[in-house]
Amino acid sequence: MSSHDAELLDPPNQIAKRIARELRDGMLVNLGIGIPTLVADFVPPGMHVFFQSENGLIGTGPVPETGMALRWLTDAGGKPVTALPGASTFDSATSFALIRGGHLDLTVLGGLQVDEAGHLANWMIPGKMVPGMGGAMDLVTGARRVIVAMQHSAKGKSKIVKRCSLPLTSDRRVDLIVTELAVIAFPDGRATLVETAEGVEVGEVLEATEASLHVPERFGEQS
């Protein structure tokens, strides 16, 4: 196994690779900080997706090579990015008008908790100072589809819970959660197991999940 193959098998890249299967040609997509940024590495060959950063850029490219970063060209989290040919820059007001106006096809965000009805909490960590929720509230409320990319548990505790104990990001329910163990959707506001990761049994997912999960008679396995 090559080092690249090994890298793809770590949980963040596994999650990102699965989410990339939800992309469609011509989509306008916002990627949040952390695991979501990895989704851009797995865009299928020949597919053209427009990635938007809420600080005012459409057409973000790969992370720049060492020594090639421009201090004024960053994503919303302040990390260096590149701009693809044809990229567009604009002010934050225009950027948030796109988000709030319902023009984003998809946003992929990290999560601290998601409850069994699909509500997301992703902006406040107890005991830590935070500057605010940033664009998360607008993204969850305004994007046509919302996917949460996160690891299934943190410090041995499920992040998919019966009820969020952290402040909610939005009243709107997310559409999909992708973790290293499973894919979970929320048809009719009910947490439903859609897929298990390769080599993961349904029982393992249920045991690792605090929320009540509906398991349909037929479901898939991630490939």
Active site residues: 54
User: b/e string for 186-197 if b means 16 or more Cβ within 10 A?
Assistant: beeeebbbbbbb
Torsion of CA 219, 34, 14, 222, to 10 degrees: 10
